[in-house]
Structure 1
Amino acid sequence: MQDLLSEIRDCKICSEYLPLGARPIIEASKNSKIVLISQAPGRVVHNSGIAWNDQSGIKLREWLGVDDEVFYNPDNFAILPMGFCYPGKAKTGDAPPRKECAPTWHDKVWDHLKKAELKILIGSYASNYYLDASKKLTEKVGAFEEYLPEYWPVPHPSPVNRFWRIKNPWFEEEIVPKLQIKIKEILS
């Protein structure tokens, strides 16, 4: 597993297209219990080199009901983005993750994550890659039980996505508490 992580962290497949260059962000261990499949690191995370070390990460840890110590233990959570490097800015938020990463690396990572009990799909890029892309994210999030026990789709916790959360208060009121119970069961 460590060799694979080193290989991914040294990846330069799409570096010519990245505004800040390649700095692949991934965390995992062969003992990871939960896999967080997300979009791509933002600029703040690119600069620090620490996954989810930004406002989105604060909100995600709140949703999961865990503190930094639990979250950053790779035996608890593997962090597997759709794109491993910061893709640059778009009109609103960041650009989409590079399309090379997931097909190149995800299957190789899955070969090592035999103890993973749950894959949390964060945002539309992850849920469209692993689930039915014809369904809207809101529909998938509301029907999360259909995807259990393997997957649990959630919206992206980015501050840019705050309007989705305002429009869909049921997510934090009804679904987040159920997600926290599931996380606690898996980690205990």
Structure 2
Amino acid sequence: MEAVPDDVAGAAFERCLHDIRACCECKGALAHEPRPVVLADRRARLLIIGQAPGRIVHETGIPWNDRSGDRLRHWVQIPYDDFYADKRIAVVPMGFCFPGTGPNGDLPPRPECAPKWHRPLLTAMPQVKLTLLVGTYAQRHYLDVPRDWSLTDVVRHGPVQDGEGRVLFPLPHPSPRNLAWFKHNPWFDADIVPSLRTALANAFA
């Protein structure tokens, strides 16, 4: 296959980002105005695929700008300012807009987003080496997970490689709502977090 010139690929990438940020497909299904949140660059080596923006992220337009983001940055040992300034880091959630709040917390990511936008955007970031699949929605979408496996099973099983040699690394959601999970699964901090930091060092090497 003939390589696409950088200027053509770059223009296609910018159009894709523009279209995502302007997307209103879910407008009628949301209780608020759509505000797609995405952070991406063609130079990205680390891709973080989470669930959907929470209320704070919806209000600020800054991904992982909350307590969940603080824990995530602790896992990968990247300071707040560097997290947003480093062009090697991309954030592409399963749902780009805040889905709203239900009786048990935030609603699930809107199902329209990933099928419509992930493939064109991820194809335009060919340097990605490590993808963090944060939470069940991302893991079920990108991994061949047995039906009877829980999130704990998936995380304990650890990372896998996709067909192009990229590492897919499953993680629990770092939300404060999951403090009980972290308390009952000390192996995560003892074993998985160091493995995650090694994988990130390799991706950035």
Seen in structure 2, the aligned counterparts of structure 1 residues 79 and 146 have a Cα distance that, compared at 3 Å, is: closer
> Partner residue of 1:156?
173
Counterparts of residues 26-175 of structure 1 (less than 5 Å)? 26-73=38-85, 75-133=87-145, 134=147, 135-147=149-161, 149-175=166-192
What is the CA distance between 1:185 and its match in structure 2? 2.7
CA contact (8 A) 1:28 1:74 kept: no
CA RMSD of superposed structures (Å):
1.4
Seen in structure 2, the aligned counterparts of structure 1 residues 3 and 184 have a Cα distance that, compared at 3 Å, is: same
Of 14, 17, 38, the match for 1:5: 17
Letter in 1 for 2:152: T
Cα distance in 1, alignment partners of residues 117 and 95 from structure 2: 10
Greater Rg, structure 1 or structure 2? 2
Note the alpha carbon deviations across 1:121-162, whole angstroms, 9 max, x for none: 000010011112422211111111445752000000011111
Matched positions, count: 188
Note the alpha carbon deviations across 1:2-49, whole angstroms, 9 max, x for none: 221111000000111112220000111111001100000000000000
CA contact (8 A) 1:29 1:74 kept: no
2:155 aligns to what SS in structure 1? helix
Letter in 2 for 1:17: A
Cα distance in 2, alignment partners of residues 12 and 53 from structure 1: 23
What is the CA distance between 1:187 and its match in structure 2? 2.1
Cα distance in 2, alignment partners of residues 43 and 166 from structure 1: 26
Of 6, 31, 42, the match for 1:19: 31
TM-score (structure 1 length as normaliser): 0.94
TM-score (structure 2 length as normaliser): 0.87
Cα distance in 1, alignment partners of residues 180 and 30 from structure 2: 28
CA contact (8 A) 1:46 1:85 kept: yes
Cα distance in 1, alignment partners of residues 158 and 90 from structure 2: 20
What stretches of structure 2 of length at least 5 have no aligned partner? Answer: 1-12
What stretches of structure 1 of length at least 5 have no aligned partner? Answer: none
> Partner residue of 2:4?
none
1:120 aligns to what SS in structure 2? strand
CA contact (8 A) 1:27 1:74 kept: no
